[in-house]
A and B are shown apart, each in its own frame.
Chain A
Amino acid sequence: MIEVQNLTKHYGSVTAIRDVSFAVAPGEIVGFLGPNGAGKSTTMRILACFMPASTGSARVAGFDVFRESMEVRKRIGYLPESVPLYTDMRVAPYLDFVAEVKGVPRGTRKKRVADVMDRCLIADVQNRLIRNLSKGYRQRVGLAQAIVSDPHVLILDEPTIGLDPRQIAEIRSLIKSLAGEHTVILSTHILPEVSMLCSGVVIINRGSIVAQGPIDRLVEQFFPTSRVEVELVAPPPAVQDAVRGIAGVVQVQQMAASNGTARFVVESARGRDVRGEIFQLAAAQRWGLLELRQVGMTLEEVFMRIVAGEESEAAVPAAPVAPIEAPAVETDA
C-alpha cells in the first residue's frame, strides 16, 4: 500500500531524511518511531503530497506521490502533527467542507459526516466553534477530517500527543478499530503506543532508517536471550556459580546486594524458561527466594539500544560524508 524507495529530502544544506526505504502492506498499522527531529514528519509530509522529495520515490495506494499526486490525495487521510484546523469554523460545517473537498458525493455527505462524528465521539460538540474546543476534542476533529472520505491510507503524525491518559486510550482504540479496512502509518515517540497498536514498526534516527519489521522479530533480533530477575537471601558468589550450572543459562549478572540479599539477572537462550530450576536450586540450597520473575524485553529497550548505539557511533569524530546522490530516474512501463 505504501512503498518508499531511497527517499531523501534536503532543506537547503540540512538533510532531513537520507535514503529512506520501507513498505507497508494493506490493512496494516505501522508505527513510525524515532526521537524528535529524526525525520518522521518530513517523511509523512512527502507521503501526504505536501512537499516533494529531493530524490527517491514513494508510491501510495499504487500511485506516485509526485507525478500522480491527485490520485494519491484522493486516497489518503492526513493528520499533521500540529492538528491545523479552521478555528473560526464550527465542527459539523468544517467536516462537511473537508468531505466536499475530498469528493464525498453530495447525497451521502451528510450521513458520512454524522457517522464520522459518532465514531470519533465529537457529535456532542458539532455546533461548537473549533476555537473553543479542548485539545482532546480538536485532536478527534483532526482525526475525523482524516477519515471522513473513508480513505485507503491514513497518515497520522503523532495522533496522541498532548492528550490526557483517558483521551489517549480513546484515540488509540479508535485507531485500532481502523485497522483492516485502512492502512495506517502513524508516527510517535511514545513506545508503548506502538506495541499496543502496531503490527510493524519502522525506526528512524537522524534521518535514516535503523530498523524495521514486526515488533516481536525486532525484539528477538536485538535481544536473543530470555531474562529472569531473581532476588535471593544468599551469598552472591555461590549463587553465581550455582546458577551458571543450569543448562541453557548464558549469563548471570549481579544487580545489587544488601543485608545478605542479592539480586541477579539471569539470561538464558530464547524460549528457555529457567525459573523452575532456579526455584529448585534455591530450595535445595535452602536460600530464601524473595522474588522470581520473567523480564519481558520491550520495544522500548530495543529502541533505546538502537538510538543509544547510533548516538555513541555519532560521537566518533569524522562522520562519514554522505554520498552525492543522482536524481532517481524511474522507468515505468
Chain B
Amino acid sequence: MELFVFLVAGAACIIGALGVVLNSNPVHAALSLVGTLFGIAVLFIAQEANFLAAVQVIVYAGAIVVLFLFVLMLLGVDRSEDLSIEPLGAGQRIAAVIVGLAVLALPLMAFRSTEGEATGAIAGPGDANLLRAEVADVAQLGESIFTTYLFAFEVTSVLLVIAVVGAVVLARKVKRADYVEDPLVAAAEAADAP
C-alpha cells in the first residue's frame, strides 16, 4: 500500500517539477507547482506527518501559489515565452544540467555510503522530542515548538512583521514625481515665483 502511495505521489511530484521547469507559460508552471506541492503533502501523510500535510496544502497550494497567480494575472505577464529564444545559450543550458546532475549525485552517493541510515542516532525513551505513536503529531509538534524552539518561534514573528512592512514599502507607488506634474501645484509654484 505504501509502495502504491509512494509511486503515485512521487510521480505527481516529479511530473509537476518538470512542468515547472519546462512549461513556457508561467501560469501553467504555477499550476504544475500545485501538483508537486500536493504530491509532497501526500508523502507527508504517508510518513505520519498529518498536521504538516494540512499546513502544506493550506499555506503552499492555498496561499503561495494563489499569490503567484495573482501577480501573474495582475501584471499581465502571463504570455508564453519561448524557451529556445530565451536569452540563454545552449552552453549555459548544458552547464546547468551538469550542475543539476552533480547536485543529485552528491546526496545519492551519501545515501549509498551510509546504507539507509540517517545518522544512526535514534531518539531514546528519555528524549523530550521523541516521536511517540500514541500522541497526535500536532500535540508533539506544538510542545516542541513552544518549549525547545520558543526563541526561534518568537524570532519568526519578527520576521513576518518585517516581511509585511517590506512588501508594503516595495509595492507602494512613488508619488513624489507626480506632484510636480500636478497642475494646481504647478500653478501655485508659478504664482509664488516672481
Binding between chains A and B: no
Give chain A's interface residues, CB within 8 Å of chain B: none
